[in-house]
Amino acid sequence: MISFDGVTKRRGSRTVLTDITFQAHPGRVTAFLGPNGAGKSSTLRILLGLDHASAGTALINGRPYRSLRAPLRTVGAMLDGSGAHRSRTARNHLAWIARSNGIGRRRTDEVLEQVGLTTAGRTRVGRFSLGMGQRLGLAAALLGEPEALVLDEPVNGLDPEGIRWIRGLLRSHADNGGTVLLSSHLMSEVSEIADDIAVIVGGRIVAYGPIADVTAGHASLEDAFFALTGTDRDGDAR
């Protein structure tokens, strides 16, 4: 399980996050939604040990990320695409990540096949399209066969076939008992896959719960989102 309990982040006199509290449970897909600049990335960076909270805790299976001995075997994460150096090949990029976590080389080829990049394994990342970079980032997240997946905008740059594929992958991961926490701007996709929703606005959680509860009284998740965030369909504040 992934849990945030009272997470607050201050930068100087500015409070970026205030009392962030919600959970992503095993067997469920939890979507983390909010306008640009609402605090989604800051929250996920604290969870993954890339930043420190000023107060509160962000835990994976009851432990902070930095205390995990082989983190890839517990949680697979993708923030800001693949993160691969442009001069590396896809296979080399995955191979060094695997070695750093004590994962056998065979697993590199398995995840390349799983994300549809087998034929591109020897291609330098600098030649990848945005969608291919997303698939490589997903391959890195899947390397350790982790129980939890944390993905920031995982369908960004994917074509319709790719979006359908990742929808099935994440649904299968949750159905097999895994935990999925994802951020996304695509309401139609979130409504297809999410079990639970956490909505953040101005660094505060304004709604959290099963998708049916969050959308109650609204025609769609999109309508609920606009009502909760106080924005219109063009993203402007009302």
CATH code for residues 1-74+147-238:
3.40.50.300
73-91 in b/e form (b: 16+ CB < 10 A) is: bbbbbbbebbebeeebbbb
Tokens of 115: 């994300």
Give me the residue spans of the domains in the chain. Answer: 1-74+147-238, 81-145
pLDDT (tens, 9 = 90+) of the chain, 238 residues, equals 999 999 999 999 999 999 999 999 999 999 999 988 899 999 999 999 999 999 999 999 999 999 998 899 999 999 875 578 888 999 999 999 999 888 988 999 999 999 999 999 999 999 999 889 989 999 999 999 999 999 998 888 788 888 888 899 999 999 999 999 999 877 888 888 999 999 999 999 999 999 999 999 999 999 999 999 886 555 454 4
What are the beta bridge partners of residue 210?
196
